[in-house]
Amino acid sequence: MDTATVQSEFLQQLFAHRLLIPSGVDGLYGRGTWFERVVEGIDAAVQRIGAPDNAEALHFPPVVTQHNYQLSEHFKSFPDLVGVVRGFRGKDKDHLALVEKMERGEDWAANFGPTGVIMTPAACYPIYPTLKGTIPPEGKRVTVLSYCFRYEPSLDPARLQMFRQREHVRIGTPDDVREFAATWKARGEQLFKELSLDSWSDVANDPFFGRVGKMLAANQRDQGLKFELLVPITSREKPTACCSFNYHQDHFGHLFEIKLPTGEWAHTACVGFGLERTTLALFKTHGFDVEKWPATVRERLKL
């Protein structure tokens, strides 16, 4: 069976069991009761294994300011994934004209202008602007949960336009970041093992845009700046990344003026768990009835 058929059939099964609720737009779905309970269980499990870090928990809305978004340079690498928020700023007559356009079935989106905010592309992005200045000698650890947006409509249920990431972020020296990476790689592998998921780790790269993006992707892989924990939701030949680690070197430290006590730019790294993807992997592996899942898995997720 080809990949598209496997993904489409799995999506229809999720709809039939009311785990996902169709909205009429590919990659944008409501979530059913059991789906959300599993998502919450995974997030809680990640937080339990990360508790020894004593990370500062921050909370942000799923948008970033246009100013900080531009500082991040995300647009240079991923213009095809960006979601720009627009709003109506017209007067009464503009509103009437807009309603008439809608009633005639004409395009009315041009009547909306910029609001100064961008949909959050990754949960960690709002963190870096808050750290401007010199960090403590021991560095910083931060955790955040957020909905993220990426414009890539698809019938693959594991490739959503809006999804949640639980991220842990390390800010410090290169040695701090290397220790963080090794620790979280082991934690992620152990968690997926306890959830009875067939998973493995591999070096990876981000989906950089265009011809320049191919060089960036090759460089990222060559330097081992990204690795993923992969699970075969569709197939072992085309596995899905349910957890990923990114080492940004001093990129965000420089852009957002985050310094070490030595005066050097701080290095940053993040590990992100895709909560919907991990949930989908569990339903694909253990079936659609959570009450029939292995007792050890249910216990780990407090279900």
Average pLDDT, the chain: 94
pLDDT value of residue 277 = 97
61 and 85 Cβ atoms separated by less than 8 Å: no
Helical pair 174-194 and 33-50, crossing angle rounded to 10 deg: 130
Burial 121-137 (b: 16+ CB within 10 A, else e): bbbbbbbbbebeeebee
Which tokens is 151 given? 């414009």
Q: Which residues contact 141 (CB under 8 A, 6 or more apart)?
A: 53, 54, 55, 56, 168, 169, 170, 171
The predicted pLDDT at position 34 comes to 98
pLDDT at 273 over 90: yes
Q: How many CB atoms lie within 10 A of CB 93?
A: 8
Which helix or strand (DSSP H or E) is residue 65 part of?
A: strand 63-65
| pLDDT tens digit sequence for 15-24 | 999 999 999 9
Q: How much is the average pLDDT of 183-208?
A: 93
Residues facing 64 on adjacent strands: 118
Instruction: Decide if pLDDT at 218 tops 90.
Output: no
pLDDT of residue 41: 98
Distance separating alpha carbons of residues 159 and 30, to the nearest angstrom: 14
**Helix locations, 51-148, DSSP H:** 66-72, 74-77, 92-104
Going along the chain from its start, the domains and CATH numbers come out as: 3-82+121-301 (3.30.930.10), 84-118 (no CATH)
How confident is the model at residue 109, as a pLDDT?
83
The two three-digit tokens of residue 74, written as one number: 């995300």
CA–CA separation, 181 and 270 (whole Å) = 8
For residue 214, pLDDT beyond 90: no
d(CA 102, CA 104): 5
Summarize pLDDT for 82-122 with one digit per residue, the tens. 999 999 988 888 898 888 888 998 888 888 898 999 999 99
Residue range 125-131: average pLDDT? Answer: 96
Beta strands in 182-287 (DSSP E): 200-203, 226-231, 240-249, 258-259, 267-274
pLDDT of the residue at 283: 98
* Res 35: pLDDT: 98
